[in-house]
Amino acid sequence: MISHAQFSSEPWGAAPGGDPVQLFTLRNAHGMKVSISDLGATLVSWHAPDRAGRLGDILLGHDTPAEYLASTTYMGGLIGRWANRIAGARFTLDGIEYTLDRNEGDNLLHGGSAGFNRLPWEAEEDNGSLVLRLESPEGDAGFPGHVTVQVRYTLDDDGALTIAYEAITDAPTPLNLTSHAYFNLSGEATGDVRGHVVSIDAEAYFEVDAGMIPTRRAEVAGNAFDFRQSAPLGARLDWPNAQLALASGFDHCYVLPELAAAAAAASRPQPVREVARVYEPGSGRELSVRTDQWGLQFYTGNHLEGEKGRGGHTYSKYAGLCLEAGGFPNQINMANPAQVILRPGEEYRQVTQYRVGVRTGV
């Protein structure tokens, strides 16, 4: 659907060093509004109507820029240069071994200790969309190449927020971008997502080791990871399963079959298609996820217990869930690393769309 979004901006305090931070808001024709900060290109809030037309914020978040920078949850942030983990914080590219920022044990997580979610982005309006740009210099977190990144947020009148990523480089480098938004479709500041009903169109996922590094591809059939048919999340979290126990919930990458096969053949993403749905029966809100990527990290907020949230609230375990589209964790050290290597003269492109609507029935 064509976007007729209204656009506004306002000061949103300052980072601890004193740099001003802005908050930008996109509104559609039906009163839905999404707010995004130029600090970390962060999705701060998303007010969406329930089945009775009442607006509620379906994203977890913090009150101030300082709280975002103090948090280790990556709440709503734009993640780069590398989403998820790289084992041993090292990789080899074109015969050269690179050592990266170790910010989670021996691994690199979400771009390192100064990842994209912690940096100021340049922002401007473009035909009702918000466009943010960032320069990532050679050696950033140990990665080669100077990378220029652009992300465009567009809200349409059908309730879809489209996130379109682009990037170029002057030297070969791994690149894997995603959005780390935490959803709770109830629109309440308290509670958890155990009552949400989830479907994920995938026949396989990656099992992980104690460091949350993928070890092998496993079939979902016959176990707690099978969301090919919609299932209540809480019941699945309670299943006895060694992988769930290891991660304290879901924190695993699903293999999106058609997209993975197409990307492997073409070394680049394909047209977007729906890969997941989440429904919250109490509010009637339903989230659809569409992407052109081949991996979908499903995370159930396993480590949110005690995290300070908006309005003085404290989040609980499973307070929100993430559906992060991108390449596979540690893919640069796995099969098909060419899929996640950006080279000079090429352009990284990724599109992920989150659409929120309502079901009128129970």
Low-confidence ranges of the chain (pLDDT < 70): 1-5, 259-270, 361-362
Look up the CATH number of the domain holding residue 41. Answer: 2.70.98.10
Residue 1 lies in a domain: no
Residue 215 lies in a domain: yes
Helix/strand/coil (H/E/C) assignment for every residue in the chain: CCCCCEEEEEEEEECCCCCEEEEEEEECCCCCEEEEECECCEEEEEEEECCCCCEEECECCCCCHHHHHHCCCCCCCEECCECCEEHHHEEEECCEEEECCCCECCEEECCCCCCHHHCECEEEEECCEEEEEEEECCCHHHCCCCEEEEEEEEECCCCEEEEEEEEEECCCEECECEECCCECCCCCCCCCCCCCEEEECCCEEEEECCCCCEEEEEECCCCCCCCCCCEEHHHHHCCCCHHHHHHCCCEEEEECHHHHHHHHHHCCCCCCEEEEEEECCCCCEEEEEEECCCEEEEECCCCCCCCECHHHCECCCCCCEEEEEECCCCHHHCCCHHHHEECCCCCEEEEEEEEEEECCCC
The predicted structure's pLDDT at residue 4: 63
**Total domain count, the chain:** 1
- Catalytic residues, by residue number, are 180, 324
The predicted structure's pLDDT at residue 6: 87
Residue range(s) defining the domain that contains residue 33:
6-358
Residue 188 lies in a domain: yes
The string of pLDDT tens digits covering residues 85-135 is: 999 999 999 999 999 999 999 999 999 999 999 999 999 999 999 999 999
The predicted structure's pLDDT at residue 29: 92
Residue 229 lies in a domain: yes
The predicted structure's pLDDT at residue 362: 56
The predicted structure's pLDDT at residue 262: 65
Residue 81 lies in a domain: yes
Residue 268 lies in a domain: yes
The predicted structure's pLDDT at residue 17: 87
Residue 40 lies in a domain: yes
Residue 10 lies in a domain: yes
